[in-house]
Structure 1
Amino acid sequence: EKPTLVLDMDETLIHAHKATASLKLFSGKILPLQRYLVAKRPGVDTFLNEMSQIYEIVVFTRAVKPYADRILDRLDPAGNLFTHRLYRDSCSPKEVGGRKVVKDLSRLGRDLRHTVIVDDKPESFCLQPSNGIVIRAFKNRKGHKYDELKKISNLLKEIARVEDVRQALEKLR
């Protein structure tokens, strides 16, 4: 049985930039149309393909389902990379800054000894901090070298078969 890799979406796998256009209607009201320009983190396709061979991949995002699914369908067009998708409504109601932001890994029903979460916000996995790997937020800025996925990929390969990922990650902290 494969271990479980839980991945955040925004600022971990992709960066979405809101491009807002406003239309003036005859009545004078302004109707905003929201479009998102989405950039994939460098190396994300290779990372997902490699990790899907070793791990069961679950995407756990704070985003709402309609927005997230449009992006995740592009990242996984064949539908064979992500085993499960969890959205904002699956986040726990622990208030951090007035929002439901906590991703409680115990709700996955997986053995936490074999579950790792990668997220750019450590507060997301504050209930199970020893299961988490913090990745630098991907903002798609020019001149920034975003090579973390390569490093994290090597780490994830290393700990995939250990008895308890929490102990393995603690040793590396």
Structure 2
Amino acid sequence: MAVQNLKPNVNSSSSIHNADLIKSVRDKNLKSLLARQKLHLVLDLDNTLLHSNPMIKLTKYDRDYLQRSGHNDHWVTKLRPNAETFLKEASALFEFSILTFGTRKYARKMLKLLDPEELYFANSQVIAREDIRSKPLKKGFDLVLSHERVVLVVDDIKEVWEDDNAKNLIKIAPYKFFDDESSSKKSWSRNWADESEKYGELARVLRELKKTHKEFYNIEDEQDYESRDVRDVIEEVKRKFLLQGTKEGTSKHAKEMINEIDECFKSMGLNCRTNGPNVIVQTNHMVM
């Protein structure tokens, strides 16, 4: 469904009109989502789906590496491993929105890198820094065009969200590929490695999203969908995930997790050493 960005107006009567308009859009979208057995997924960009930096802010280690490779672009972006699979599989179950503290121009540029063929975000709502009115900046659902009870969020920082929306959040570990002199931890680039596609964070979050979607629609009577709240389902799925590590869970799952960790460590040592990063050069911007 094509959407537009609806900004609140300082005029009180206009604000009421906008609120009514947003509610009307949300009501229609809710019926559409339930009829198609989909949910609404709000995605962050930076350190969630990608890591982007101006070249001037990179450490000397990364700048030297990129310049030796013949790249002198102003910006460099590393897409998170498994991003393409994540978007492809999640799009079958969710409608997407983007909510970022970046500017609209920056967000659009990142979406072209993530979705060059416009398969996933062509009609998605993009809420950017210019749309957010709170001081200090906080992310919230005031402009999201779906009702909260069918909205999930994937973000690497919980604290940037309004407290009322915390229950909708599935937190992902931050993805930082490039070197950071302020951190004592070696970056992926300095380790000549990368996050595992099969066992990394996007793969984990995708499993949790699929499980949440399945549990939400796991009832026989479609009329009961009207009373479902995804926030309750998220809590139940998280509880089950935690139980899987106890005696209440299965020993099989514990063994699988150990195998996943082993594979992840192996991939960290092998991912980039033989083939190197996949680099695509664009005007004034490089994608890895």
Q: TM-score, normalised by structure 2?
A: 0.51
Counterpart for residue 85 of structure 1: 126
Structure 2 partner of 1:30: none
Structure 2 residue 252 is the aligned partner of structure 1 residue 170 = no
Runs of 4+, deviation exceeding 4 Å: none
Alpha-carbon contact 1:60-1:85 (below 8 Å) kept: yes
| Structure 1 residues 130 and 92: alpha-carbon distance in aligned structure 2, compared to 1, 3 A threshold | farther
Residue in structure 2 matched with residue 40 of structure 1 by the alignment: 79
CA distance in 2, matches of 1:90, 1:124: 15
**Cα distance in 2 for residues equivalent to 1:131 and 1:68:** 22
- 3-state SS of the aligned residue for 1:151? helix
Alignment partner of 2:106 out of 61, 67, 74: 67
Matches within 5 A, 1:91-106: 91-95=132-136, 100=137, 102-106=138-142
Residues in 2 aligned to 1:65 and 1:145: alpha-carbon distance in whole angstroms: 28
Larger helix percent: 2
Report the Cα distance in structure 1 between the residues aligned to 2:118 and 2:204, rounded to whole angstroms.
25
Identity of aligned residues (%): 29
Code of the aligned partner of 2:168: N
CA distance in 1, matches of 2:74, 2:104: 16
2:50 alignment partner in structure 1: 14
Structure 2: which amino acid aligns with 1:129?
Answer: A
Q: C-alpha deviations, 1:30-49, integer Å up to 9, x for none?
A: xxxx8211000010010001
Answer yes or no: is 1:157 the counterpart of 2:157. Answer: no
Residue in 2 that maps onto 1:130: 167
Larger Rg computed on CA atoms = 2
Provide the rounded CA distance (Å) in 2 between the counterparts of 1:118 and 1:92: 21
Q: What is aligned with 1:27?
A: none
Deviation at 1:66, TM superposition (A): 1.4
**Runs (5+) with no aligned partner, structure 2:** 1-32, 58-72, 178-186, 217-227, 240-288
Query: Number of matched residues?
Result: 157
In 2, Cα distance between the equivalents of 1:77 and 1:65? 17
Query: What TM-score, normalized by structure 1, do the two folds share?
Result: 0.82
- Structure 1 range deviating more: 71-80 or 55-64: 71-80
CA distance in 2, matches of 1:168, 1:75: 29
CA contact (8 A) 1:90 1:103 kept: no
Superposition deviation, residue 90 in structure 1: 2.3
Counterpart CA distance in 1 for 2:110 and 2:202 is 19
Deviation at 1:75, TM superposition (A): 0.9
Return closer, same or farther for 1:131/1:51 CA change in 2, 3 Å cut-off.
same
How large is the RMSD of aligned CA atoms in angstroms?
2.1
Residues 1:110 and 2:151 are matched in the alignment? no
Aligned to 2:257: none
- Structure-2 change in CA distance of 1:132 and 1:112 (3 Å): same
Q: Report the 3-state secondary structure (helix = DSSP H, G, I; strand = E; otherwise coil) of the residue aligned with 1:109.
A: coil
Partner of 2:195: 145
Structure 2 counterpart of 1:84, one-letter code: Q
1:168 shift after superposition: 1.8
Offset, 1:92 = 4.1
Deviation track 1:93-114 (CA, whole Å, cap 9, x = no partner) reads: 142xxxx1x1111421312111
